[in-house]
Amino acid sequence: MSASVRPPGPHPRWPVISFFEYRRDMAAFLERAAREHGDIVYFKMGPQDVYFLNHPDYIKDVLVMRQQNFMKGRALQRSKRLLGEGLLTSEGSFHRRQRRLAQPAFHRHRIASYADAMTEYAARAGARWPDGEQLDISREMMKLTLAIVGKTLFDADVEEEAQEIGEALATILNLFNAMIFPFSELLEKLPLPQNKRFERAKRRLDETIYRIINERRRSGEDHGDLLSMLLISQDEEGTGSMTDEQVRDEVMTLFLAGHETTANALTWTWYLLSQHEAEEARLHAEIDEVLGTRERPTFEMVERLRYTEMVLAESMRLYPPAWAIGRLATKETEIGGYTIAPGSLVLVSQYVMHRDPRYYPAPENFDPERWTVEAREARPQFSYFPFGAGARRCIGESFAWMEGILLISTLARTWRMRHVPQHPVELQPLITLRPKHGMLMTVHKR
């Protein structure tokens, strides 16, 4: 098909309208575009050509088979303002090197060693909850997962400052929309209030991260954790170790990615369970059976907590923590009979694909039975990709699955949560899929 032929899509008279519609409700815009225009949708956001792909084969093309034809999209490129050249934002040989250095921290035997810390922190968090009180479970999960990432990957105790760090991260994420606005590179140089808030939040995060790095460098100890691996690593020629700034970028990336996504997944899971008592009862029954007389699960129990895993998988289907992926085409690429020119932005969305009725009948329903072995095998591979795919697939996927299962089973062993009915539940699709107003829930001891 000729390169001049565009796929169908919304074509407003003024292209900037697409940008404002997309920015106002990004997930809904893409969901509507796929429903009305099909598996390949074309639209413009200002001067930018955008192709939205919503078929497992096309997603595989972009993220796996022809991933070399694409680079990170504008959203993550702009994230360098916070993350620097970390795993999420770096490209090419530098990204491959950094991933290779970090990979051992996520090997199975290493992840198994994190299990006790995860359940200990979860039990400690639950012990502080007053029975019958209303809590913002979103904030509670953020504090919990941040403390766990600090301890397991960097052997740092940040539990006391977790709320302050979490608030700084929340400030930055809430400003993220402005960072991808056209001309934002120019706007960020102005003394605007939002720029001052961003810089204050970034300084607060850097304060903690550089303190952790400096303390470890002074001690000279190898703790066998990710931070030690980064500090003792050599460059490709073996001429020197990573600078503090390079280490900072990786630590910042993993602080954000390692706690934000899991906290959101858990928050949505508690919300869904509070709306589906039969599934919640089955979850509690499995946990009670597997744990027996134990208060907390162990690493060895994870593979037996099969229904707990199914609940988490279904929660991430409905509310995937990373809800969309953007790639910029660096080479002319044909997908689905259309030619995508270099410089075009290609979008794929876990949120939209995971709710496609072709693969998930009654897609709005919460149904953990979708994750039996038979049901999984009946669906195309890339109809579900909460952790991305290809060379850029989330390095912490195994970490996240284990953490999610262990934290759900630890907290649900003791607690039942109920969404406060008058509290609004609304999506906030930024880098991650947060509940816009938090998640106010009443916690009840079982």
Q: 63-72, 141-150, 166-175, 276-285 — which is least confidently predicted?
A: 166-175
For 96-150, give the DSSP string.
HHHHHHHGGGGSHHHHHHHHHHHHHHHHHHHHTSPTT-EEEHHHHHHHHHHHHHH
- How deeply is 357 buried, as exposed, middle or buried, from its count of CB atoms within 10 A (0-12, 13-18, 19+)? exposed
Q: Could you tell me what percent of the chain has a pLDDT over 90? A: 59
CA distance linking residue 173 with residue 430, whole number of Å: 7
CA distance linking residue 302 with residue 322, whole number of Å: 23
Q: How many CB atoms lie within 10 A of CB 112?
A: 15
Q: Mean pLDDT across the stretch 178-198?
A: 69
pLDDT (0 to 100) of residue 184: 60
Give the residue carrying structure tokens 């460059």. Answer: 235
- pTM for this model (two decimals): 0.91
The yes-or-no verdict on residue 2 having pLDDT over 60 is no
Total count of residues recorded for the chain: 446
Sort strands 345-348 and 40-45 into parallel, antiparallel or unpaired: unpaired
pLDDT tens-place string over residues 90-99: 888 888 888 8
CB 424 within 8 A of CB 400: no
Q: Does domain 16-445 have CATH number 1.10.3720.10?
A: no
The type of residue at 47 is P
CA distance linking residue 384 with residue 276, whole number of Å: 22
In 324-396, alpha helices (H): 350-353, 373-377
pLDDT tens-place string over residues 226-265: 888 888 875 444 545 678 888 899 888 888 888 899 999 9
Domain ranges of the chain: 16-445
Q: Could you tell me what percent of the chain has a pLDDT over 70? A: 90
Q: How many CB atoms lie within 10 A of CB 279?
A: 19
42-77 b/e (C-beta count within 10 Å ≥ 16 → b): bbbbeebbbbbbbbbebbbbbbbebbebbebbbbbb
